[in-house]
Amino acid sequence: MKPDFLKLKFLEDQNVQEISKYLQSNHDSNWQDGLLTFVGDPNTKKNKQLRNQIFKQKISDIVTQSLSSNKEYSRYTYPKHIQDFLVTRTDIGGYYNPHNDIGLNGHYSTTIFLSDPNSYEGGELCLYLNGEEEKIKLDPGYGVVYKTGIPHRVSKVLSGQRDVIIFWTISYFKDPFISELYYDLAGISFNSDDLNIITTHSDFETIMQQNSFKLNGILNNLIRRYADI
């Protein structure tokens, strides 16, 4: 079964440290009010976004590189396109009230936490699931990817400062049923130790008996038939 959200490690410690270097400056020229790129009631949220284009590009390169080798993220989203990364800073008194992300953003929303959870109070990402709030606050480098469409909010920051990276993923699979099928099948494949053995055999007879090879064929057929390619 495909969960509504997944907590994953997205960045190694050295990645987080490098990104933190770019975020040290609190100078106004590097940051802009989050409302500047927002259409809606100004009381909806209070945060800042990284504006410095050079820093944004450096951070984008680091996160893109990390995502390319993240098997669990790929299995969950089967990404066709990743939207531009947003780096947001929420200071004391900052928040983001309950909202739905814009449909055109994509199929999956991701928040990667950058700040030490002990360095700030509040600032939890709260997902509204089955009538209850799932409050999420993770160590630096860890994040949560969830189905876009789940109502969510960021609770008020009571002390310290909360930095996160946010982005949306457009999936090759638009249909949730197919997406779940892929997730479950790919889970068997990822957990199989047989996959690497395939290449050591040159004869068809051995290979055709291996479940991992059969599964690989099914996955590729699923992609050919249903992926938005």
Binding site for Fe ion (CB under 5 A): 101
* CA 133 vs CA 1, 125, 224: distances in Å: 21, 9, 38
Return the number of the residue (126 or 186) whose C-beta is nearest Fe ion: 126
Q: Which two tokens stand for residue 8?
A: 């994953």
Q: To the nearest whole angstrom, how small is the minimum distance from the Cβ of residue 149 to Fe ion?
A: 11
194 contacts: CB under 8 Å, gap ≥ 6? 210, 211, 212
Return the number of the residue (72 or 101) whose C-beta is nearest Fe ion: 101
Cβ-closest residue to Fe ion? Answer: 101
Q: To the nearest whole angstrom, how small is the minimum distance from the Cβ of residue 189 to Fe ion?
A: 32
As a whole number of angstroms, the distance between CA 62 and CA 13 comes to 12
Return the number of the residue (101 or 139) whose C-beta is nearest Fe ion: 101
Dihedral sign from CA coordinates of 26, 116, 89, 21: positive
Return the number of the residue (45 or 56) whose C-beta is nearest Fe ion: 45
Q: To the nearest whole angstrom, how small is the minimum distance from the Cβ of residue 94 to Fe ion?
A: 14
Q: To the nearest whole angstrom, how small is the minimum distance from the Cβ of residue 218 to Fe ion?
A: 35
